[in-house]
Structure 1
Amino acid sequence: MSDTVRQRGLDSQGFIVREGSLARVPPVFRPVVAAARDRLPEVFGARLHSAYLYGSVPRGTARVGRSDLDLLVALREEPTEADRADARALGVALDGEFPQIDGVGTLLYGRERLLSGLERHDLGWFVACLCTPLVGEDLAEHLPRYRPDSLLARETNGDLALLLPRWRTRVADAEDTDEARRPLVRFVSRHLVRTAFTLVMPRWNGWTSELHAMAEAFAAYYPARAEQVRAAAVRGCEPTGDAAVLRSYVDDLGPWLAEEYARVHGVKAPRPS
């Protein structure tokens, strides 16, 4: 296998390699991972099919006191509001108990949806390539292997035009303080950088979850927008609370990216409301 293929997250046949593993979890984060593994079956009982880690912790790049713990939980049936409340309560408990993390984010889905044809190149790909098995049967065994192609690009991030009006509302409704805006800047920055990367992913021919590497991959193909995306990558790691940044995202970079994405890859298949 060539060094370039390895560096770009592909195997020798050009398929995306699953990026994380329990072996890569830094020692300081292992107690919180063990606690999540032990408590998830207690919280969801027989409804739990499987659970996964994703993000910086299983990639081995988490920062003590700065990174959150990201979990995906697959239930045997579609999640209820009670399930979501239970997940929030578990997250609050873990966050309060383990100072090495800064929050817990939990995604909840039903097994049938994760394996559905509609989600094959979105949530299915996410489970198979970006999630590390923690509890239960690995759903990746029922999913295909994935290449960094235009279909994957379209189905992962081809809905930016639908998201922009919601972001504008969140920006308008946010409390007028740096502290209140900072999490929103971080969230939107990361989403825009990832969308910029998947716009060029088929040409770059690889996968990475590292924000600065994503920005550099994009910059090679769109130099006129390179500095905007590089700056967004910085804010995705070290967010400011600047209102002007959010306005530039929803009024300039976001609309341009949505239009270019639709031109290059098309629009994501509609989901039920």
Structure 2
Amino acid sequence: MAGTVHRRGLDAQGYIEREGSLGRVPPAFRPVVAAARDRLLDVYGGRLNSAYLYGSIPRGTARVGRSDLDLLVVTRQEPTEEDRDAARSLGEALDKEFPEIDGVGTLLYGRARLLSEPETYDLGWFVACLCTPLLGEDLAEDLPRYRPDSLLARETNGDLALLLPRWRDRIAAAGDTDGARRPLVRFMSRHLVRTGFTLVMPRWNGWTSDLGEMAEAFAAYYPERAEALRGAAELGHEPTGDADVLRSYVDELGPWLAEEYARVHGVKASRPAD
């Protein structure tokens, strides 16, 4: 199975195809997408360079009442604290108004950062391949095309070792309630599955954003860790607030993944502090 050549998510030349489109947005989510588009223009005005959707809604796989709305907002200059506060307020208002979504996640970056050389195979790839244009200039026109190779793997997810101490701090700050831990389980589960997938992505030779398919691709090369990643894929969709899960992520699965990633692909180049 591990020797099979996969072409999923690639075009005829072997480049990763852009996933998602406005045409794939399920009808139930179109009102919130339209509201987000209009309000982004109202909030940012001339400061706004571009806005994108990403995640399950533009892929057409979102579930009503269970999926969040994921936005990338690009400002003409580096975003200010005022810009960040505006993004938080906008997300909270949309989440409150539209029961079809379960939260809003907004990434906010300046145009120069996204087009900078250090970000070409990280945020640049994210924009060009995983984001659906919603407003303004499409930065993908100024970015290269991407293959599922080791360079891309390293620059997208080769920083897990640096993230784990921060994850431990977030777990400690979350307290003892299931409600506080549940979002962390969802976030960390998804991140670990994606990291496991990009670890094997060059050998699998394809691209997918489906957590279940990511876990199965990983399992073909690391059968001894397959159960752990399959479990994380399930929790990425249906998270619990289990403290033992979070401990296993930062004490077992996460450290192993970080070490194996560095061995196979190397360590991600340093980035400016966010």
Provide the TM-score with structure 2 as the length reference. 0.97
The answer to which structure, 1 or 2, has the higher relative contact order (CA under 8 A, 6+ apart) is 2
Distance 1:4 1:205, change over 3 A: closer
Deviation at 1:35, TM superposition (A): 0.8
The equivalent of 1:190 in structure 2 is: 190
Letter paired with 2:117:
G
Deviation at 1:57, TM superposition (A): 0.2
The equivalent of 1:166 in structure 2 is: 166
The equivalent of 1:234 in structure 2 is: 234
Q: How big is each residue's C-alpha offset from its partner over 1:224-268, in whole Å with a ceiling of 9 and x where there is no partner? A: 000000000000100111111111110000000000000000000
Deviation at 1:4, TM superposition (A): 5.0
Q: Does 1:268 align with 2:251?
A: no
1:17-56 to 2 correspondences below 5 Å: 17-56=17-56
Q: Does 1:13 align with 2:13?
A: yes
Runs of 4+ in 1 over 6 A off after TM superposition: none
Does structure 1 retain, via aligned residues, the 8 Å contact 2:69–2:101? yes
1:207-222 to 2 correspondences below 5 Å: 207-222=207-222
1:95-244 to 2 correspondences below 5 Å: 95-244=95-244
Distance 2:132 2:252 in 1: 35
Q: Which moved more, 1:173-182 or 1:55-64?
A: 173-182
Letter paired with 1:272:
P
Letter paired with 2:70:
D
Q: Secondary structure at the match of 1:105?
A: strand
Q: How big is each residue's C-alpha offset from its partner over 1:165-211, in whole Å with a ceiling of 9 and x where there is no partner? A: 11111112221011111111111100000000000000000110010
Q: Secondary structure at the match of 2:118?
A: coil
Letter paired with 2:11:
D
The equivalent of 1:247 in structure 2 is: 247
Q: Secondary structure at the match of 1:9?
A: coil
Distance 1:245 1:200 in 2: 23
Distance 1:45 1:180 in 2: 35
Does structure 1 retain, via aligned residues, the 8 Å contact 2:215–2:233? yes
Distance 1:241 1:216 in 2: 24
Distance 1:174 1:100 in 2: 26
Q: Secondary structure at the match of 1:90?
A: helix
Q: Secondary structure at the match of 1:15?
A: coil
Q: Secondary structure at the match of 2:119?
A: coil
Distance 1:240 1:98 in 2: 23
Provide the TM-score with structure 1 as the length reference. 0.97
Q: Secondary structure at the match of 1:132?
A: strand
Deviation at 1:222, TM superposition (A): 0.1
The equivalent of 1:259 in structure 2 is: 259
Gapped regions of structure 2 (runs ≥ 5)? none
Q: Secondary structure at the match of 1:166?
A: helix
Does structure 1 retain, via aligned residues, the 8 Å contact 2:6–2:205? no
Distance 2:241 2:93 in 1: 27
